[in-house]
Amino acid sequence: MRILNITNLYPPHFLGGYEVLCEYTSKYLEKRGHEVFILTSRHGVDEPTSEGRIYRRLKLYQPFDRPAGLQRSKRLTTFRHNHTVTRCLLRQLQPDVVFIWSQLRLTAGGAMAAQEANFPVAMTMNDNHLQSFVPPKWGIKLLQLRRCILDNILYPHITIKNLKFDHVTCISEDLKSNLIDLGVPVQKAKVIYQGIPLHRFPMKDNPGILHKPIHLCYVGQLQEWKGVHLAIPALASLLKKNPDGYWLELIGTGDAGYTDRLVSDIKYNNIEKNVHFRGRVPPDQIGKIYRKHDVFLFTSTWEEPFGLTHLEAMASGTPVISTFRGGMKEFLIHEENCLIFNPDQPGHLAEQVGRIVNDDKLRHKIIYNARQTIEQKFSASHYVDHIEKFLEWTIKNHHISSA
């Protein structure tokens, strides 16, 4: 197949798991003999560029370091630019299928250009970003009526109003259900669980053997909804019982205000020497991070669509202590392949860390069960098998529908 992936961001310029998944899926498909092209934004570069099969020519209507806002006029301008750029590249490449990834701050310009040119279009939904594309429902209140007129009549292109959802995959049943509730018509979507490249995340040597002090880690964005602040009092509580017995590393970047809050909480608890802000780590180095730590903390307080970092830690032999919300409920099993903690219950995270550290039998059981879970259900090759079939089905179904 000749595949054009359209994504808002693409490594090395990325924010999270959506873009990383797009990259390694593209590489896996190339290894299977497919021609894969990437059309993405100019995020991270000064001018439009072409790097082999990677085209950084699209625009974001607002950089990710600034609040999004409605900005209807700016969204429409961005839509038109991206529509034109995509249309021109489609004429040049003539792909067999256009595969849409995250459209956050990108607008649906690329997807609409592909649909209007009658190319087979597939979409993968890995989060609920399309809720910001849903036009408001009609109502009698003045503000709601104004928004409805603007989005449904004057600015329909900044919404999903004219977008077709014939060939869609979601990464979890939970995400699919949430998108439907939010007004995104993905009732026909196939659920394909994401996977990870196992060669990047081999099991650590001597799994279950602990460092002194115990090495805890968090990997992800530093945002309030990620719940990183919950790890600070938990660490302080553990250190009261075992001074100098624990060390926490925070891997990732995020909101400056929230990072300042974390620093303040750390100082308040007088644990500065026990916490290290590592910053962003390249995707090809993240496996080493997991293997160097004893416990992975996943503290998110919102309904996560899935859990890429869970999979990475579980594959690496690093036991996971996690909240239990959203798509992760579809693969986490308490006391079998992880430990679950309640973020609304003070002291529960520290309690679960104590359990995994002090119970050798439980720790080893969780480590080996977690690795088995990933090998059997969540490898990248398993995921790409399903994506490959999904894209082939999209092409076939499109031609049948167009006949």
- pLDDT-derived band at 161 (thresholds 50, 70, 90) equals confident
Q: What are the tens digits of pLDDT across the range 107-128?
A: 999 999 999 999 999 999 999 9
Q: What are the tens digits of pLDDT across the range 50-104?
A: 999 999 999 999 998 888 877 888 989 999 999 999 999 999 999 999 999 999 9
Q: What are the tens digits of pLDDT across the range 259-272?
A: 999 999 999 999 99
* Residue 123: φ, ψ to 5°: -130, 145
What average pLDDT is seen over the chain? Answer: 94
* Degrees, nearest 5: CA angle 382-252-347: 95
Q: What is the pTM of this model?
A: 0.88
Conformation bin of residue 208: beta by default, left when phi > 0, alpha when psi is -120 to 50: left
Mean pLDDT value of segment 392-398: 97
Q: What is the DSSP letter of 401?
A: H
Residue the block writes with tokens 């009092």: 233
Domains (ranges, CATH) in the chain?
2-195+380-402 (3.40.50.2000), 198-377 (3.40.50.2000)
> Is the distance from CB of 320 to CB of 326 less than 8 angstroms?
no
**How many Å apart are CA 403 and CA 397, to the nearest integer?**
10
> Is the distance from CB of 38 to CB of 54 less than 8 angstroms?
yes
> Is the distance from CB of 119 to CB of 98 less than 8 angstroms?
yes
> Is the distance from CB of 131 to CB of 179 less than 8 angstroms?
yes
pLDDT at residue 397 is higher than 70: yes
Alpha carbon 107 to its chain's center: 18
How many other CB atoms are there within 10 angstroms of residue 92's CB atom? Answer: 9
Q: What are the tens digits of pLDDT across the range 193-241?
A: 999 999 999 999 999 999 999 999 999 999 999 999 999 999 999 999 9
pLDDT at residue 139 is higher than 70: no
- On the 0-12 / 13-18 / 19+ scale of CB atoms within 10 A, 221 is middle
Of all residues in the chain, the percent with pLDDT exceeding 70 is 99
